[in-house]
Chain A
């Protein structure tokens, strides 16, 4: 009886450390050879990697579980199985990231040249041309959106942290969270519905894009700022009050500067989030092949929309359109990466120490 309990609850021995990785390697090699043999026997020239991975992984998991169950007992075997599953889930999630980065860089490099950054698409059919008009549009629209969102976002966060009490503050907090979930295309439709009132049906305008992006950006800025204001120590505020500093000056001169690095990080991340938005700009800013520096009039191209239209409206020379789409995607990814990196550097080097 006792020995039975012991054997089912506690393994009798441990597997050596090298067993698991060795088995993993063996099963993947085995699965690979099997698939190669299968592919050559059925005259299929293309080797499909999905079955290789699936059979390798399932075989490895089953075999290791069985072996561990036999040597180490049920509980450790289950633990090993879960470890395999969790690690597999994680690796699976990294595959799209790697594939995405690889294909964007590889395909984008073809047209990632000086012409791409100095030409618009006006009068371009087929090869050549560039995305300067789209880059200008993206910078202007995102810039205006930032100018609208940052003051409103920071003031709303100040309200929530420094002033807000009671029902209204709770409502605002709740709806800021809900607002982060507004679909981007709905924001675009909102901007359109707003501008139709003033300019009539069919309106297209860069400013509308900025309004739409603001709707998406404000909640992100509020959330980030709120988090930062909350961690400013109360002693700082109390010290300022004790010196007779009015509340509004305390907020401006004491609280905000302390939280500034964190707020800047939050703003950068919110910019990175909206700079890649396509759907609202497609609705309200439209698309064009020409330069347009004026956000208050006429259609304005933006980089994400440039990527989309280059792919969706391929002309005669299809490859050059797809190449431009990839180059645009690469530019967009680089901008987003740089913004994220800068945000991290700001928070690392400028946040208050201690």
Chain B
């Protein structure tokens, strides 16, 4: 009995191709690791080298207003964008008629394709002057709310304008994601609700929204990740100072990490550029955490819903 198992022939082409594919896949992990490693190595001189005038109170005191500005602008953007994105997704998936909806979806996707520098140009030359009278009105009539207090900016280059521009920029991505989730709602759930005599809104409330809840949360997280890292629109629109300021209508706003790098880096010499790289590492860490949480929520949902 010499029954040896028939051995699969290992062709040279197969081995080479499989390994090429494997290395391409693993290179993704390697790239992310090298991004973190190189940024880390390059930010060391900011701490060991000669003191930098901009960061005389230490690195964390330097970076904190920017972290605040980054998070604050993104949260404003998210507060504006999330309800709108849900509205757009609902409109395209459940309200507009089908052929019209496809066209509308394309129009919203176009918004996602517009380069950020064009948004920046539009934000500062069109949107800021357009919004300024409204800002004045808000300040005059609702100035007792701390957010609207203070000396109103004369140019409209405020935190709120930035928040609105960021909201417009993340809106298409969020709307597209939420729309996909809403479209996956089991048809039977919707029809059952309608058959019980529910109006369209009641059907959405009973069938669509509960099903899409995790989708909405993860879309919001991804939108947050996007707006945290957005650079050019903020760099062009905001008039920054290095303070922490909750008022959204004044001309002294906390800059964001990304915009600060974009504004300072071209002229940065010596270990000032290392300092900026260190702030970039902070930004990288923040966006990584946000994105990983978002992806984790999505993957958990995919396991349980069975709607793929």
**Are these two chains actual partners, yes or no?**
yes
- Residue from B18, B232, B276 with most neighbouring chain A CB atoms (10 Å): B232
Q: Which residues of A contact B90 (CB under 8 A)?
A: 86
B261 interface residue, CB < 8 Å from A?
Answer: yes
A 130-167 binary contact with B (CB < 8 Å = 1; else 0): 00000000000000000000011101101110111000
Q: Is chain B's interface secondary structure helix, strand, loop, or mixed overall?
A: helix
B69 interface residue, CB < 8 Å from A?
Answer: no
Bound form: Cα–Cα A83–B31 in Å: 47
Bound form: Cα–Cα A88–B25 in Å: 44
B75 interface residue, CB < 8 Å from A?
Answer: no
Q: What is the chain B residue whose CB lies nearest that of A332? A: B115
Contact between A169 and B95, CB atoms less than 8 A apart = no
Contact between A278 and B231, CB atoms less than 8 A apart = yes
Q: Which residues of B contact A153 (CB under 8 A)?
A: 24
Q: Which residues of A contact B115 (CB under 8 A)?
A: 275-278, 304, 329, 332-333, 336
Interface residues of B in 16-43 (CB under 8 A from A): 16-18, 20-29, 31-32, 34-35, 38-39, 41-42
Interface residues of A in 55-97 (CB under 8 A from B): 75-76, 78-79, 82-83, 85-90, 92-94, 96-97
Contact between B266 and A286, CB atoms less than 8 A apart = yes
A 297-324 binary contact with B (CB < 8 Å = 1; else 0): 0000000100110011000000000100
Contact between B42 and A193, CB atoms less than 8 A apart = yes
Interface residues of B in 41-56 (CB under 8 A from A): 41-42
Contact between A178 and B288, CB atoms less than 8 A apart = yes
From B57-65, B183-191, B221-229, B240-248, the one touching the partner chain is: B221-229
Bound form: Cα–Cα A189–B229 in Å: 13
For this complex, 22 residue pairs linking A to B, each with C-beta atoms less than 8 Å apart, are A50-B131, A88-B87, A89-B88, A92-B84, A94-B107, A100-B126, A107-B125, A155-B20, A159-B22, A168-B26, A169-B25, A179-B31, A183-B228, A186-B287, A189-B280, A193-B38, A194-B38, A246-B13, A282-B266, A286-B266, A304-B117, A336-B114
Chain A contact residues, CB within 8 Å of chain B: 46, 48, 50-51, 75-76, 78-79, 82-83, 85-90, 92-94, 96-97, 99-100, 103-104, 107, 151-153, 155-156, 158-160, 162-164, 168-169, 171-172, 174-187, 189-190, 192-194, 196-197, 201-202, 215, 218-219, 222, 246-249, 251-252, 272-273, 275-279, 282-283, 286-287, 304, 307-308, 311-312, 322, 325-326, 329, 332-333, 336-337, 340
